[in-house]
Amino acid sequence: MNTPTLLATALLIAMTDRSSLAQWTQVYLNAFESPVGPEWSNPTTARTPLGDRGFLGRFSGSTATTLSLASLPSHNTVTVCFDLFIIQSWDGNDELYGPDFWDLSVLGGPRLLLTTFSAVDRSPAAQAYPDSFPGGNHPAGTGASETNSLGYPPIFDPGPYMDSVYHLQLTFPHSSSTLSLVFSSANLLGMGDESWGLDNVTLSLAELSPPSITRQPVSRTNAVGTAASFTVEATATLPLSYQWRRQGTNLVDGGNISGVTTTNLVIANVQPADAVGYSVVVTNLHGGTTSQVAQLTLGPAPPEPVHLQNCHLSAGQFAFELDGGTGGKVLIQASTDLKHWVTLHACQLTNAPWCFIDTESHLYPRRYYRLMAAEGVALMEQPRWGSGQFNCNLVGEPGRLVVVVASTNLLDWTPLSLNTLGSAPLSFTDPQSAQFPHRFYQLLMP
């Protein structure tokens, strides 16, 4: 016997995001294979011609049946699931023969669904479902999980579907210990023409929490004309909805704004008027959480990238061109092992390609090259001892003034040489180095 029962079985139901789980308790289940209890206001039952499936109904005309449950455990959210049988020649949105409405509401509470269904293929008889009425205009049978599976014959105006089964699931806030759900229809022509029924009705309860924001949107600086984006991440029982705000006012997609109801807000072609604060409200069925405000600030445009291009041999020597990065200063460095690098040349880029030739490239079986930003850079490279003196190369930002200082104890430093860096490595020699058992050197930028 399959009798209606009040259950206390805990069900772990995974939502769309597997990281968000809700603990649901199923409190009602009825497959209508036995007499209906007093929880239903209209306990009429029938069996399908095909498959001999028991169900609640048939109902027609402007008829309602109410499911009333009491002594519900503590909860703040309800999910009701059921199979809705749409039987014979429903006319959907057709204003001549309908519209044929179907409704589910909480007694004394919100309407959960008002829609229309269709079983005919006349153009005015499209159905609203899976949207609410008014609004949807879909072909007959859209969203059905079964069609022509119950065995009902055609009536008057045969269409593609003489019966359809829709599996519906609706979730809504609710916290009272009593609940009455009103299932009803309106404008149906009669039992011999249009009718409906219910099967496999279940009711589950849960205690849901409002969203928790795990990644706040971060303030950022953009140049005029670039694209800015803000991202949020949140955890909670799904579904989650998002609404981005600008200075506390809800945004809508349009112009240079997109993604206002997603986790990622994009502002294309940033303009001075966009340099304000942005936040997002994340909500689920049990409430909403507002993020911190992320500020969009205008700043200088990012530097133009430098391109190393047109690599070639020129008179047996390796050469390449530098393009882009107008006004920028770079160091051209080389290595034979990708570990130890030496500076070959420093240059300031212009708006025209500039060609560099490595006149020593033929001395190496292989040589690697790279570019390094030169702004604010001063380096001592290739330290060596020759002719009884310390020698090294000074390289860095062209035009930069640098001072070579020396010390014997790393505490007291003596200036040795004032130099202006150029495009080629500058050789430095300490003629007094042989007078000290040890001497340390560093390069300072005054």
Residue 64 in domain: yes
Residue 2 in domain: no
Residue 4 in domain: no
The CB density around residue 252, as the number of other CB atoms within 10 Å, is 11
User: 0.85 exceeded by the pTM?
Assistant: no
Task: Give yes or no: residues 320 and 412 share one domain.
Answer: no
Task: Give yes or no: residues 101 and 223 share one domain.
Answer: no
What is the pLDDT, as a whole number, of residue 153? Answer: 87
Residue 1 in domain: no
Task: Give yes or no: residues 145 and 183 share one domain.
Answer: yes
The residue-averaged pLDDT of 303-318 equals: 85
Residue 275 in domain: yes
Task: Give yes or no: residues 46 and 100 share one domain.
Answer: yes
For residue 57, give every residue at least 6 positions away whose Cβ sits within 8 Å of its Cβ, in sequence order, or none: 44, 45, 46, 85, 195, 196, 197, 198
Cross-strand bridge partners of residue 221? 297
Residue 338 in domain: yes
Task: Give yes or no: residues 226 and 102 share one domain.
Answer: no
Residue 91 in domain: yes
Name which of 18, 11, 53, 54 is nearest 35 in CA terms.
54
For residue 57, the one-letter residue type is: G
Contact between 175 and 76 under an 8 Å Cβ cutoff? The reply is: yes
Query: Last residue of some domain: 249, 275, 298?
Result: 298
Task: Give yes or no: residues 73 and 142 share one domain.
Answer: yes
| For residue 280, pLDDT beyond 50 | yes
Task: Give yes or no: residues 327 and 436 share one domain.
Answer: no
Domain that holds residue 268: 212-298
What is the pLDDT, as a whole number, of residue 123? Answer: 64
Contact between 381 and 364 under an 8 Å Cβ cutoff? The reply is: no
Regarding beta strands 294-298 and 220-222, do their DSSP bridges make them parallel or antiparallel, or are they unpaired? parallel
The residue-averaged pLDDT of 286-306 equals: 86
Please give the tally of structural domains in the chain. Answer: 4
Task: Give yes or no: residues 314 and 201 share one domain.
Answer: no
Contact between 204 and 24 under an 8 Å Cβ cutoff? The reply is: yes
Query: Last residue of some domain: 343, 373, 403?
Result: 373
Contact between 242 and 250 under an 8 Å Cβ cutoff? The reply is: no
Query: Last residue of some domain: 244, 275, 298?
Result: 298
What is the pLDDT, as a whole number, of residue 158? Answer: 55
| For residue 27, pLDDT beyond 70 | yes
CATH number of the domain enclosing 178: 2.60.120.260
| For residue 21, pLDDT beyond 70 | no
Tell me the pLDDT band of 8, cut-offs 50, 70 and 90: very low
Tell me the pLDDT band of 157, cut-offs 50, 70 and 90: low
383-438 pLDDT, tens digit per residue, is: 999 889 999 999 999 999 999 999 999 999 999 999 999 999 999 999 999 999 99
Task: Give yes or no: residues 247 and 261 share one domain.
Answer: yes
The residue-averaged pLDDT of 191-203 equals: 94
What is the pLDDT, as a whole number, of residue 5? Answer: 33
Tokens 């039992």 found at? 191
Task: Give yes or no: residues 284 and 224 share one domain.
Answer: yes
Task: Give yes or no: residues 344 and 246 share one domain.
Answer: no
Task: Give yes or no: residues 96 and 123 share one domain.
Answer: yes
Residue 16 in domain: yes
| For residue 316, pLDDT beyond 90 | no
Share of the chain above pLDDT 90, in %: 72
Residue 430 three-state SS = strand
